[in-house]
């Protein structure tokens, strides 16, 4: 192989990628074992997965998302994969590793054009940009189910997920209760339509129920751990009397160590997280975070596949299925932690 | 020198405006937060300036930092002593740096595409090995490396000062530094002068590789978690800072101190959007606009002033 030319280099890269793929495939997948419930808090019901996968059928169900390196997706991908196995379909988690809309749209277009595609479960980054592909998929007879945040166009076959406004309201109600409707409240998240809805729901609820609470403008980070840490620290300085901070996306767990350090320095602000990666749950257990407003993405994606499968078989499915957030604090966190 | 003075003036003006316009910008706590969050980028910037002056380019820094941090984290969680894990992380950074250097400097593959692929491979391995779940919960002794405070500042400031001083001395007061400038300005002339540009290129990429691995390890220590997306976007911020500081993307020009001043400006502005409570939808527009004005004003107005 002549490495001194671009072709030689390309060949080297292909070989390196193949080696990477082989090694990656050999690394055991470690998932957080989480029990799931359709009810907020209260009793936990474990979803029982069919022990023997069904006979394999032709085609693949795709889970198309964005910022796919976020640990938020781990539970959801597990639910998606297990549901697909239970109906004998292949499944694949696709989309950009960052918040790259163009890349998500390119993948969307490719999925719609591929005969392998038997269903698309889409986490939207931009409703307008994705609408032509949603329509094209439906026109081509590809079951099209949306998760995370529903499109205003309603041209998809079905939606399952969280009403982000309601999730924000649930977080707002909990926050108001935690601080007895007094003090200052702030929010941090990445940008995105679901996060906008969520934070708006949170702020509107607090404004309507606790008008005396001072609400601060949301701070945004770019999704990297370094940016999150810098944003968190700067936000605390800008608002030194903050009573409660709601971290509205699922990345709070990586900052648990930093927050513990802040608490050791005397910071009294309550930290309310979102979602339930293991690190977040452990921070709740250890009293570093006061609680977390969690989406049960395992259930969302599991049922997303079953909706696509029902559509694939020509059955009618509900237009919209809303799930309820789980409110996890020290009193019930053990039910969700991996033993 | 003119560039440094210009950037000092721009920084002073921006800082003065923010000190008057916001309640908490000009406080010791906030200045410490800005410094703490900037220092690891300063470490990279110091090495990257040499690379850029030498006429090379490296997009893989974020990836090297990620994979070295992740490998260290997985090793520690797997029971390896943290000191050994650090050495493995640093060695990995050295190896990736050498690989980049050999591919670009020796085999003359375009630096942009070569290091882009290295970046993807590193990020891919980081995500593949962790399935996006950051290793965390490291020994206290390891966390001390980045969390110890000196006069209120994280110890990272010491690492940054050491990197800036050593690499500035090498760049401005040694023959190696002169060779880097000459090589970046005109590689053919440098070779005619007897400079081994291949060896120099490999050394520069290795330097950036080891600094990137250091950053990944220190981020893991600082956050007690080794995220596969630990410093996404850092490379472009560092390159932007060096260019704001007068560095040239085609090599031969640049200065570490001026680059650091460019980085200070960027971090001050990032902090300002939070202090000012600017809507998230407008933050990037505000950051870009102020940086553009800063660069243009330095270029246009000060030029005349210093000619007199």
Mean pLDDT rounded to a whole number for chain A? 84
Which structure tokens are listed for A199? 């934070």
Which candidate in B62, B227, B235, B268 is best for mutational testing of the A interface (most A CBs within 10 A)? Answer: B227
Tokens (6 digits) for A260: 């513990």
Looking at the partner chain, which of B24, B219, B232 has a beta carbon nearest the beta carbon of A222?
B232
pLDDT (tens digit, 9 = 90+) per residue, B173-228? 999 999 999 999 998 899 999 999 999 999 999 999 999 999 999 999 999 999 88
User: Which residues contact residue A85 at a Cβ distance below 8 angstroms, ignoring those fewer than 6 apart?
Assistant: A49, A50, A53, A54, A91
- SS3 state at B154: strand
Token match 């192989």: residue? A1
B183 lies in a domain? Answer: yes
Query: Does A336 or B68 have the greater pLDDT score?
Result: B68
| Closest residue, chain A, to B275 (C-alpha) | A238
Chain B residues whose beta carbon lies within 8 Å of the beta carbon of residue A30 = 131, 133
Contact between A69 and B133 using a beta-carbon 8 Å cutoff: no
Given a cut of 70, is residue A26 above it in pLDDT? no
Q: Which residue of chain A has the CA closest to B133?
A: A71
**pLDDT confidence band for A32 (50 / 70 / 90):** very low
Least CB-CB distance to B227: which of A13, A24, A254?
Answer: A254
From B155's Cα to the closest Cα of chain A, the distance in A is 15
How distant is the Cα of A153 from the closest Cα of chain B, in angstroms? Answer: 23
Tell whether B289 is covered by a domain. yes
Question: Does residue A47 contact residue A298 with C-beta atoms inside 8 Å?
Answer: yes
Same fold, A29-162+299-323 and A164-296+330-335: yes
CB contact under 8 A, A71 and B232: no
The pLDDT score that the predictor gives to residue A46 is 52
Distance from CA of A140 to the nearest CA of B (A): 33
Lowest mean pLDDT among A13-17, A146-150, A309-313, B227-231: A13-17
Q: What percent of chain A has pLDDT over 70?
A: 84
Other Cβ atoms closer than 10 A to B13: 12
Determine contact: B133 vs chain A, CB below 8 A. Answer: yes
Measured distance CA(B244)–CA(B11) in Å, rounded: 12
**Structure confidence at residue A49 (pLDDT):** 55
Q: What is the pLDDT of residue A7?
A: 54
Listed by number, the residues of chain B in 196-235 with a beta carbon closer than 8 Å to a beta carbon of chain A are 219, 222-225, 227-234
Asked, for residue B246, whether it belongs to a domain, the answer is yes
pTM, to two decimals: 0.77
Put simply, the answer to whether A226 touches B128 (Cβ < 8 Å) is no
The reply to whether B78 touches chain A by the CB within 8 Å rule is no
Give the whole-angstrom CA distance, residue A248 versus residue A168: 8
Residue B134: closest C-alpha in chain A: A254
CATH code of the domain covering residue B159:
1.10.3470
Q: What pLDDT score was predicted for residue B247?
A: 87
Domain boundaries, chain A: 29-162+299-323, 164-296+330-335
In a domain, B185, yes or no: yes
Contacts of B114 in chain A (CB under 8 A): 9
Q: Give the residue among B21, B91, B96 at the shortest CA–CA distance from B62.
A: B96
Query: Based on the number of CB atoms within 10 Å of its own CB, is A302 exposed (0-12), middle (13-18) or buried (19 or more)?
Result: buried
Cα(A203)–Cα(A186) distance, integer angstroms: 9
The Cα A120–Cα B38 span in angstroms is 42
* Token pair recorded at residue B114: 């070569």
A85 — pLDDT class (breaks 50, 70, 90): very high
Q: What is the mean pLDDT of residues A312-338?
A: 90
Write down the mean pLDDT value for chain B: 90
CA–CA separation, B184 and B252 (whole Å): 4
Q: Do B129 and A278 touch (CB under 8 A)?
A: no
CB contact under 8 A, A226 and B231: yes
Give the minimum alpha-carbon distance from B40 to chain A in angstroms, rounded to a whole number. Answer: 10
Q: What's the pLDDT tens digit per position in A197-230?
A: 899 999 999 999 999 999 999 998 888 888 899 9
Q: Do A219 and B230 make contact, defined as CB atoms within 8 angstroms?
A: no
Residue B57 lies in a domain: yes
Task: Output the pLDDT for position A27.
Answer: 36
* CATH code assigned to A164-296+330-335: 3.40.50.2300
Residue A26 has which token pair? 């050999």
Q: Are strands A184-189 and A214-215 parallel, antiparallel or unpaired?
A: parallel
Give the mean pLDDT per block of 10 residues along chain B (308 residues).
85 92 90 93 96 94 95 95 96 97 94 93 91 87 93 94 97 94 91 92 97 96 89 88 88 92 91 83 76 69 48
Given a cut of 70, whether residue A21 has pLDDT beyond it is no
Give the relative orientation of helices B256-275 and B156-173 as an angle to the nearest 10 degrees: 150
Q: Are the C-beta atoms of B163 and B210 separated by less than 8 Å?
A: no
CA trace torsion A280, A285, A286, A288 (10° rounding): 50
Segment holding B19, helix H or strand E: helix B2-21
> Which among A74, A231, A254 has the least Cβ separation from residue B274?
A231
Longest dimension (CA), chain A: 71
8 A C-beta contact, residue A234 and residue B245: no
Give the mean pLDDT of A64-88.
90
Beta bridge partners of A162: A323
Residues of A in contact with B132 (CB under 8 A): 68-71, 73-74
Q: State the total domains in chain B.
A: 1
The DSSP secondary-structure symbol of B225 reads B
Q: Is residue B252 part of a domain?
A: yes
DSSP character for A46? P
Give the end-to-end CA distance of chain B in Å, rounded to a whole number. Answer: 15
Q: Which two tokens stand for residue B173?
A: 């007061």
Instruction: Classify residue B308: in a domain, yes or no.
Output: no
Q: What is the pLDDT of residue A261?
A: 87
Q: What does each C-alpha distance from A187 to A132, A165, A217, B9, B46 come to in angstroms?
A: 33, 15, 7, 34, 35
Beta bridge mates, A117 = A60
Say what the pLDDT of residue A112 is. Answer: 94
- CB-CB: which of A20, A73, A256 is closest to B132? A73
Contact check, Cβ <8 Å, A191/B108: no
DSSP class of residue A28 equals: P
Smallest Cβ–Cβ distance between B232 and the set A24, A30, A98 belongs to A98
Give the per-residue pLDDT at A191. 82
pLDDT at A52: 63
Cβ distance B227 to A225 less than 8 Å, yes or no, reads: yes
* Cβ–Cβ pairs < 8 A, chains A and B: 152
pLDDT of residue A4: 47
Q: What is the mean pLDDT of residues A120-138?
A: 93
A253-267 tens-digit pLDDT = 888 988 998 898 899
Which run of H or E residues covers position B149?
A: strand B149-150
The predicted pLDDT at position A51 comes to 52
Q: Is residue B290 part of a domain?
A: yes
- Specify the 3-state DSSP secondary structure of A286: coil
What domain range is B282 assigned to?
2-303
Q: Which residues pair with A93 in a beta bridge?
A: A63
Pure H helices in A153-192: 164-178
CATH code of the domain occupying A29-162+299-323: 3.40.50.2300
């Amino acid at each position: 192989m002549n490495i001194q030319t671009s072709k030689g280099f390309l060949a080297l890269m292909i070989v390196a990628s193949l080696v990477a793929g082989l090694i990656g495939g050999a690394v055991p997948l470690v998932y957080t074992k989480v029990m799931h419930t359709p009810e907020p808090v209260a009793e936990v019901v474990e979803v029982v997965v069919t022990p023997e996968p069904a006979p394999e059928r032709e085609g693949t169900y795709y889970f198309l998302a964005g910022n796919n390196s976020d640990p938020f997706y781990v539970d959801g991908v597990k639910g998606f994969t297990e549901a697909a196995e239970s109906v004998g379909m292949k499944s694949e988690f696709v989309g950009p590793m960052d918040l790259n809309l163009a890349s998500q749209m390119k993948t969307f277009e490719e999925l719609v054009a591929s005969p392998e595609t038997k269903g698309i479960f889409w986490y939207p980054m931009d409703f307008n940009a994705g609408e032509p592909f949603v329509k094209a998929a439906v026109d081509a007879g590809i079951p099209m189910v949306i998760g995370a945040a529903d499109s205003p166009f309603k041209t998809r076959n079905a939606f399952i997920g969280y009403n982000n406004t309601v999730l924000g309201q649930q977080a707002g109600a909990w926050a108001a209760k935690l601080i007895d409707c007094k003090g200052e409240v702030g929010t941090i998240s990445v940008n995105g339509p679901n996060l906008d809805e969520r934070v708006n729901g949170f702020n509107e609820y607090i404004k309507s129920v606790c008008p005396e609470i001072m609400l601060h403008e949301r701070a945004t980070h770019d999704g990297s751990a370094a940016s999150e840490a810098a944003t968190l620290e700067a936000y605390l300085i800008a608002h030194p009397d903050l009573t409660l901070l709601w971290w509205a996306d699922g990345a709070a767990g990586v900052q648990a160590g930093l927050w513990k350090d802040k608490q050791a320095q005397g910071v009294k602000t309550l930290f309310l997280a979102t979602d339930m990666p293991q690190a977040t749950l452990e921070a709740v257990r250890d009293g570093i975070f006061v609680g977390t407003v969690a989406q049960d993405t395992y259930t969302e994606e599991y049922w997303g596949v079953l909706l696509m499968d029902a559509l694939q078989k020509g059955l009618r499915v509900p237009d919209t299925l809303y799930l309820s957030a789980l409110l996890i604090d020290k009193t019930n966190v053990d039910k969700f932690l991996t033993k | 020198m003119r560039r440094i003075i210009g950037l000092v003036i721009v920084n002073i003006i921006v800082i003065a405006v923010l000190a008057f316009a916001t309640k908490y910008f000009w406080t010791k706590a906030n200045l410490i937060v800005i410094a703490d969050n900037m220092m690891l980028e300063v470490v990279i910037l110091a090495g990257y300036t040499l690379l850029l002056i030498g006429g090379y380019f490296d997009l893989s820094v974020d990836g090297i930092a990620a994979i070295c941090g992740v490998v260290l984290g997985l090793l520690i969680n797997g029971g390896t002593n943290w000191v050994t894990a650090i050495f493995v992380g640093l060695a990995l950074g050295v190896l990736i740096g050498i690989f980049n250097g050999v591919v670009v400097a020796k085999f003359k593959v375009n630096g942009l595409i070569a290091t882009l692929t290295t970046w993807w491979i590193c990020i891919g391995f980081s995500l593949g090995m962790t399935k996006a779940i950051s290793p965390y919960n490291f020994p206290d002794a390891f966390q001390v490396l980045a969390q110890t405070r000196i006069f209120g500042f994280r110890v990272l400031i010491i690492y940054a000062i050491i990197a800036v001083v050593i690499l500035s001395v090498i760049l401005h007061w040694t023959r190696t530094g002169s060779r880097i400038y000459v090589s970046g300005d005109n590689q053919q002339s440098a070779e005619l002068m007897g400079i081994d540009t291949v060896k120099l290129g490999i050394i520069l990429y290795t330097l950036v590789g080891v600094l990137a691995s250091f950053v990944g390890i220190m981020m893991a220590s600082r956050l007690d978690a080794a995220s596969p997306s630990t410093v996404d976007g850092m490379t472009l911020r560092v390159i932007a800072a060096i260019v704001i500081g007068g560095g040239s993307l085609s090599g031969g020009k640049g200065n570490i101190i001026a680059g650091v001043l460019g980085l200070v400006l960027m971090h001050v502005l990032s902090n300002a959007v939070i202090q000012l409570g600017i809507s998230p939808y407008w933050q990037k527009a505000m950051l870009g606009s102020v940086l553009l004005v800063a660069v243009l004003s330095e270029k246009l107005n000060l030029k005349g002033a210093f000619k007199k």
